[in-house]
């Protein structure tokens, strides 16, 4: 009733309108935008439902946008992982080259291959974890900035998930990727360039 009266400038004209003159109206929120069409059909099949409003054009546009963003994100992540492995491999290669005399001396005094490789693996691990934690902190800051802008728009179409609800999972994912890139990049570089 309030929505109906609010559509008109002269509200006094509808001062006698009673709330029970209107049909009941329910607002249904879907968790997955792609299910709006199915939800609309399911609601129509409920006895007593007279009309279902669902803007399928906007929903399909949002689903398309989500799919495009997901595809582009996967490509970007793959490219960044390849670049990270390349940078890590080159970093370890340079470290190996700089310490070639030190490595030769260690080999002459009987150091095992594992003993020589361990400091490089450890260095790669430290670099990978440090880089992943820096990326996690940057993502947290960027997310906070974007959320503040979205909230200021006060759009009813977008609901914002607090970063604290996804941060533990993201932290673990970033740590695993950092470990994998650091240790994996080091291992690749050592196998390729460290002749022991």
User: What is the pLDDT, as a whole number, of residue 68?
Assistant: 92
User: What is the pLDDT, as a whole number, of residue 61?
Assistant: 82
Name the percent of the chain lying above pLDDT 70.
Answer: 85
User: 131 or 97: which carries more pLDDT confidence?
Assistant: 131
Q: How confident is the model at residue 192 (pLDDT cuts 50, 70, 90)?
A: low
User: What is the pLDDT, as a whole number, of residue 89?
Assistant: 72
Nearest to 136 by CA among 83, 172, 85, 91: 172
Q: How far apart are CA 23 and CA 12, in angstroms?
A: 22
Note every long-range contact of 31-39, with CB atoms under 8 Å and residues 24 or more positions apart, other chains counting: 33/59, 33/62, 33/63, 33/66, 34/59, 34/63
193 pLDDT more than 80: no
Nearest to 186 by CA among 83, 80, 104, 93: 93
Q: How confident is the model at residue 191 (pLDDT cuts 50, 70, 90)?
A: low
* Domain ranges, ordered by start, for the chain: 73-193
Q: How confident is the model at residue 117 (pLDDT cuts 50, 70, 90)?
A: confident
User: What is the pLDDT, as a whole number, of residue 152?
Assistant: 66
User: What is the pLDDT, as a whole number, of residue 55?
Assistant: 78
Mean pLDDT along residues 161-169: 83
Mean pLDDT along residues 68-92: 83
29 pLDDT more than 80: yes
Mean pLDDT along residues 117-127: 83
194 pLDDT more than 70: no
């Amino acid at each position: 009733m309030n929505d109906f009266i609010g559509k008109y400038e002269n509200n006094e004209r509808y001062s006698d309108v009673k709330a029970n003159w209107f049909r009941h109206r329910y607002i249904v929120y879907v968790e997955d935008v792609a299910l709006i069409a199915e939800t609309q059909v399911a609601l129509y099949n409920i006895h007593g439902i007279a009309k279902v409003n669902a803007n399928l054009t906007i929903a399909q546009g949002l689903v398309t946008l989500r799919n495009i963003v997901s595809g582009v994100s996967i490509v970007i992540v793959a490219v960044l992982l390849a670049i990270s492995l390349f940078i890590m491999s080159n970093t370890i290669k340079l470290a190996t080259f700089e310490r070639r005399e030190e490595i030769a001396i260690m080999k002459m005094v009987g150091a095992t291959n594992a003993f020589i490789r361990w400091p490089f693996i450890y260095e790669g691990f430290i670099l990978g974890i440090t880089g992943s934690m820096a990326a996690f902190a940057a993502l947290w800051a960027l997310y906070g900035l974007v959320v503040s802008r979205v909230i200021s728009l006060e759009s009813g179409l977008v609901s914002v998930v607090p970063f604290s609800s996804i941060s533990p999972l993201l932290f673990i994912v970033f740590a695993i990727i950092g470990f994998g890139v650091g240790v994996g990049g080091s291992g690749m570089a050592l196998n390729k360039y460290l002749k022991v």
